[in-house]
Amino acid sequence: MAEDLRWRSSMLAIHVSDLAALKNLVSRLLDPHRHDDEADDYETIVPAAARAVTGRLLDTRMLNWSNQLLISLSEAMAAHRWSDAARLLAVLMRQTDLRSRAGTAAVWRAGIESLLRLRASEGALAMLMRHAQGALHEEAPEYALLYILHLLREGRINELHQAFGAVAAAPPPQESSGTARTRAVRRALTAYRGMTQYAEWLIDRQQLRTLAAAATTAAETETGGDYLYETQKMGHEESLRNHAEMAMVAFEKLLDEPGVCDAFVTKYVHLIDSSQQHLSVSSVDVLRRYRTRNPDNPNAHRYLYAAVAKRGATAAELLDILEGYAEVNPSDELMLDYVDLLGDDDAVKKMAVLFDMLDYAAWQHDRRPWQKLSDVLLSVGSEAEVEGALDLWIDRKSWWPTYHFTEFHANGDDLLLLVSKAVVAVILGESESKFLKKAYQQILADPDLESKFQLAVNARNRAWGKLYDKVSSSIIT
Whether residue 417 sits in one domain with residue 374: yes
- Percent of the chain predicted with pLDDT > 90: 27
Q: Is the pLDDT of residue 49 over 50?
A: no
Q: Is residue 291 part of a domain?
A: no
The letter for the amino acid at 394 is I
**Proportion of the chain above pLDDT 70, given as a percent:** 63
Residue where a domain stops, chosen among 171, 190, 218 = 171
Residue 292 belongs to a domain = no
Q: Is the pLDDT of residue 332 over 80?
A: yes
Question: Do 378 and 477 reside in the same domain of the chain?
Answer: yes
Phi-psi region of 435 (alpha: psi -120 to 50; beta: other; left: phi over 0): alpha
Mean pLDDT for 93-118 is 62
Could you give the CA distance from residue 402 to residue 399 in angstroms, rounded to a whole number?
6
Closest alpha carbon to 414 in 403, 406, 422: 422
The answer to whether residue 204 scores a pLDDT higher than 80 is yes
For the chain, what is the domain count?
3
Q: Say whether pLDDT at 209 is over 50.
A: yes
SS3 346: helix
For the ranges 68-82, 216-230, 353-367, the lowest mean pLDDT is seen at 216-230
Please give the Cα distance from 43 to 94 (Å, whole number): 12
Examine the pLDDT at 194 and tell me if it is beyond 50. Answer: yes
Look at residues 66, 88, 90 and name the one whose alpha carbon lies nearest to residue 78.
Answer: 88
Q: What is the mean pLDDT of residues 35-54?
A: 42
Q: Which residue from 73, 114, 116, 118 is spatially nearest to 91, judged by alpha carbons?
A: 73
Query: Would you place residue 13 in the very low, low, confident or very high pLDDT band (cuts 50, 70, 90)?
Result: very low
pLDDT at res. 428? 86
Residue 310, in any domain of the structure: no
Residues 6+ apart with CB under 8 A from 234: none
The confidence score (pLDDT) of residue 95 equals 58
Residue 431 has pLDDT above 60, yes or no: yes
Instruction: Work out the mean pLDDT of the chain and round it to a whole number.
Output: 75
Bigger pLDDT: 176 vs 190? 190
Cα–Cα distance measured from residue 294 to residue 298, given in angstroms and rounded to the nearest whole number: 9
Calculate the CA 235 to chain-centre distance. Answer: 37
76 or 449, which is more confident? 76
In a domain, 120, yes or no: yes
- Read off the pLDDT of each residue in 55-61 and give the average, rounded to a whole number: 39
CA dihedral of 407, 408, 414, 418, whole degrees rounded to 10: -30
Q: Which residue has the higher pLDDT, 368 or 184?
A: 368
Residue 203: CB atoms within 10 A of its CB come to 16
**Pair 105, 201 in one domain:** no
Q: From 381, 365, 463, select the one nearest 417 (Cα to Cα).
A: 365
d(CA 146, CA 167): 12
Residue scoring higher pLDDT (17 or 412): 412
Letter for the amino acid at 321?
I
What CATH number does residue 219 fall under? 1.20.58
For the ranges 99-103, 157-161, 418-422, the maximum mean pLDDT occurs at 418-422
Q: Identify the three-state secondary structure at position 412.
A: coil
Q: Which amino acid is at 331?
A: S
Q: Which of 58-67, 228-237, 260-269, 363-372 is least confident? A: 58-67
- What is the arithmetic mean of pLDDT over 400-409? 88
**What pLDDT is attached to residue 358?**
97
Q: Grade residue 120 by pLDDT with cuts at 50, 70 and 90.
A: low
Beta-carbon-side half-sphere exposure of residue 1 (alpha carbons within 13 Å): 0
Q: What are phi and psi of 405, to 5 degrees?
A: -120, 55
Give the residue from 118, 147, 171 where a domain finishes: 171
What is the C-alpha to C-alpha distance for residues 145 and 221, in angstroms, rounded to an integer?
A: 49
CB 118 within 8 A of CB 86: yes
Do 183 and 57 fall within a single domain? no
C-alpha 105: how far from chain center: 23
Tell me, yes or no, whether 115 and 254 share the same domain.
Answer: no
Query: 393 near 428, Cβ under 8 Å?
Result: yes
pLDDT tops 60 at residue 110: yes
Spell out the residues 6+ positions from residue 354 whose beta carbon is closer than 8 angstroms to its own.
Answer: 335, 339, 369, 372, 373, 376
CA gyration radius, the chain = 33
Amino acid at 26: V
The predicted structure's pLDDT at residue 433: 76
Cβ burial of 115 (10 Å; 0-12, 13-18, 19+) is: buried
In a domain, 295, yes or no: no
- Position 381 scores a pLDDT of 77
pLDDT tens for residues 78-90? 787 777 777 777 6
Last residue of a domain, one of 259, 281, 303: 281
What is the mean predicted confidence (pLDDT) over 391-401?
92
Tell me, what's the pLDDT at 363?
95
Cβ partners under 8 Å of residue 78, min gap 6:
none
Whether 19 shows a pLDDT value over 70: the answer reads no
User: What are the CA-CA distances from residue 225 to residues 209, 218, 233, 234, 277 (Å)?
Assistant: 16, 7, 12, 14, 28
How far is Cα 436 from Cα 410, in angstroms, rounded to an integer?
8
- Whether residue 134 is found in the same domain as residue 165: yes
Q: What is the pLDDT of residue 324?
A: 94
Asked if residue 324 belongs to a domain, the reply is no
31 and 106 belong to one structural domain: yes
Closest to 421 measured CA to CA, from 358, 337, 328? 358
- What is the reported pLDDT for 103? 59
Eight-class DSSP state of 369: H
Give the whole-angstrom CA distance, residue 319 versus residue 294.
19
138 pLDDT higher than 80: no
Q: Are 48 and 11 in contact (CB under 8 A)?
A: yes
pLDDT (0 to 100) of residue 174: 55
The band of 140, judged by pLDDT with boundaries at 50, 70 and 90, is low
Is there a domain that residue 159 lies in? yes
| 156 CB-side CA count, 13 A | 14
Amino acid (1-letter code) at residue 261: C
Instruction: Give the model's pLDDT for residue 15.
Output: 38
Q: For 242-251, what is each residue's pLDDT tens digit?
A: 999 999 999 9
Q: Could you tell me if 205 and 272 lie in one domain?
A: yes
Q: How far is CA 187 from the centre of its chain?
A: 19
Same domain for 456 and 371, yes or no, is: yes
Residue 329 lies in a domain: no
Regarding whether 148 and 23 lie in a shared domain, the answer is: yes
Same-domain check for residues 408 and 449: yes
The whole-number pLDDT of residue 311 equals 87
Domain housing 219: 178-281
Distances (CA, A) of 279 to 196, 248, 285: 21, 11, 12
Supply the pLDDT for residue 102. Answer: 56
- Same domain as 161, residue 23: yes
